């Protein structure tokens, strides 16, 4: 079974919010710290996984940037039959 999760880091210059599948899971003082936290989650979910964030949106009238990475992996579907 294919699993997919989307990580987004929203940066406004002062803080960097990490979102996982649209839910905020943390706020960090640097982009790098948010990226490390996202990679930690990804590697716990799919051992050996590494995320590469790319710029998805930048508003030039402010400091707002949004960078995203997608984690996809195959897992065995387990079902219990009685």
Structural domain containing residue 69 = 2-74
Q: Kindly state whether residue 47 falls inside one of the protein's structural domains.
A: yes
Q: Kindly state whether residue 70 falls inside one of the protein's structural domains.
A: yes
Q: Kindly state whether residue 66 falls inside one of the protein's structural domains.
A: yes
pLDDT tens-place values along the chain, 82 residues long: 778 999 999 999 899 999 999 999 999 999 999 999 999 999 998 888 889 999 999 998 888 999 999 998 777 654 444 4
Q: Kindly state whether residue 79 falls inside one of the protein's structural domains.
A: no
H or E element: which one contains 47? none
19 and 10 Cβ atoms separated by less than 8 Å: yes
The number of distinct structural domains making up the chain is 1
Q: Which residues of 4-18 are buried (b: 16+ CB within 10 A; e: fewer)?
A: ebebbbbbeeeebbb
Q: Kindly state whether residue 82 falls inside one of the protein's structural domains.
A: no
Residue 74's pLDDT is 76
Q: Kindly state whether residue 41 falls inside one of the protein's structural domains.
A: yes
Q: Kindly state whether residue 80 falls inside one of the protein's structural domains.
A: no
Q: How far apart are CA 7 and CA 49, in angstroms?
A: 13
- Residue showing tokens 């790098």: 32
């Amino acid at each position: 079974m294919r699993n997919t999760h989307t990580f987004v880091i929203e940066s406004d210059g002062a803080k960097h919010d990490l979102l996982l599948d649209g839910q905020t899971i943390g706020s960090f003082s640097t982009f790098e710290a948010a990226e490390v936290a996202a990679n930690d989650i990804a590697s716990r979910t799919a051992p050996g996984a590494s995320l590469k964030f790319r710029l998805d949106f930048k508003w030039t009238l402010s400091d707002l940037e949004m960078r995203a990475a997608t984690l996809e992996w195959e897992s065995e579907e387990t079902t219990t039959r009685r």
